[in-house]
Amino acid sequence: MYFQQFYLSCLAHASYLLGSEGIAAVVDPQRDVDIYLDEARQQGLRIAYVIETHLHADFVSGHRELAERTGAEIVIGARAGAHFPHRPVRDGDELRFGQCLLRFLETPGHTLESLCVLVTDLERGPEPWAVLTGDTLFIGDVGRPDLSPTHTPRELAGMLYDSLHKKLLTLPDSVEVYPAHGAGSLCGRNISAERCSTIGQQRRFNYALQPMSREEFIRMLTSELVERPDYFLQDAELNRRGVLSLGDLPPLQPLAPEEVLACQQSGVIVLDTRNPADFGAGHLPGSVNIPLSGQYASWAGTLLGLEQPILLVAEDPERLAESRMRLARVGIENVVGYLRDGILSWQQAGLPLAEVPQISVHDLHAALREQPRELQLLDVRRPAEWNAGHIPSALHKSLIGLKLLLHTPPHDPNPIPELDRHRPVAVHCKSGYRSSIATSLLRRAGFTNVLNVVGGFDAWQMQRLPVVKEAAVEPTRVL
């Protein structure tokens, strides 16, 4: 039996190709499906099935395009209400091709239609050796319970407890666990960077699988939920219907600087995909920086949404094409064009550039020590990261909470009451990626003296500079 995991780092998304005796199934495919077609061809496999563990909310799936290009049958939970031709499966249903036997478990909780897939290689023996857990069980975490428009988080959390304890935790400890997401995904709280595990390891080390009552689990899972991005429910509906092939998207239009300026004035968001240092050195005033180097598409979907018209700035045609592709992976298709010849053309047109100075952790530490009442420090990491340790005197507001700045007029006197827009603001995250996004939002909202902390909290810790825990800080210091 052939088994391969495909991991898409920018979405922290894992998909799978399983094959036996010339027949294959793809599980939870990403939108751009050529990787599965190429791999199947190399392995001498025909893709006959496309399996969805649930209606994904954080990305647009390639299930319909893959089915159309291969003639494969789409398999999805009966409760999904899918609007495309498919095989609806329920608890205990099986699918066999060659020596591969797949058995479906209905595991509602993350979503109502969630499935887990038990994988048996009949050449090895009659018992399953792996389980594809979708977003029900992650490595070190479980799926968030707030993605249903019809059920409350408490109701979903109760279902998830039952699914875990009555289905997955009844499996032998040796069964290998392969989820649909890894570290960084917003579908969980704090997913491990490991890409596979075993039931036994998760039983021992996963915080959500420790002994507790159903009510304790519900209370734990629904307290302090990270804000759900607005585009999640939209993507789930797109996946319920299926989307256009990527090849049907219109080509991007090159725009001269004057045309870009006119687009900005009409409400189009300029999305600068360059790295933080290049963005900081000079960018279009009012542009938003989401570097292509990180979880670009997830942050674009979270902060910009799916309908907002976007215009791209990139270093070269290759990065431009990659930028457009990644946006399409989360359902962002309203890209009106790009700045022809990049930032150089803007400079040559004599148009002004804005800047975001970069500051090292050494200089930041010195400035905080010498001018404690002058420099403001903003930490834009997630609450769990903040609670694990943060810089003394920092204010905290996670990046997703800064979304309101996207449409805050520059003349608004108080967009973030705890920050004085007339004093310098240094912004940090874990490594410098999210903080660069935050600085662009602050600049767009009229904060003129903003600095990006190079290397973020990781660099601060590496230099053994002071760190405090949440309990040691006055609650009033947290925004």
Pairing mode, strands 425-428 and 450-453: parallel
CB 346 within 8 A of CB 75: no
Instruction: Put the strands of the sheet holding 425-428 in their side by side order.
Output: 358-359, 450-453, 425-428, 376-379, 395-396
State the burial class of residue 252 (Cβ atoms within 10 Å of its Cβ: 0-12, 13-18, 19+).
middle
State the burial class of residue 2 (Cβ atoms within 10 Å of its Cβ: 0-12, 13-18, 19+).
middle
- Tell me how crowded residue 183 is: count the other CB atoms within 10 A of its CB: 17
Kindly list the distances between the CA atom of residue 426 and the CA atoms of 191, 429, 449, in Å, as whole numbers in the listed order: 28, 11, 9
Among residues 10, 100, 116, 429, the one annotated as catalytic is 429
Kindly list the distances between the CA atom of residue 389 and the CA atoms of 274, 365, 467, in Å, as whole numbers in the listed order: 29, 16, 6
Kindly list the distances between the CA atom of residue 282 and the CA atoms of 276, 277, 343, 353, 356, in Å, as whole numbers in the listed order: 10, 9, 8, 5, 8
Q: Which residues contact 433 (CB under 8 A, 6 or more apart)?
A: 276, 291, 293, 294, 456
Backbone angles phi, psi at 280, to 5 degrees: -65, -35
Residue matched to tokens 């009451």 = 417
Residue 248: which H helix or E strand, with range?
none
Question: In whole angstroms, what is the distance from residue 183 CA to residue 140 CA?
Answer: 10
Give me the amino acid identity at 58.
Answer: D
CA Rg value for the chain: 24
394, HSE (Cβ side, Cα atoms, 13 Å): 29
Closest to 149 measured CA to CA, from 88, 85, 90, 81: 81
100 is catalytic: no
73, two tokens: 């049958």
Question: In whole angstroms, what is the distance from residue 378 CA to residue 391 CA?
Answer: 10
Which sequence positions are flagged as catalytic? 429
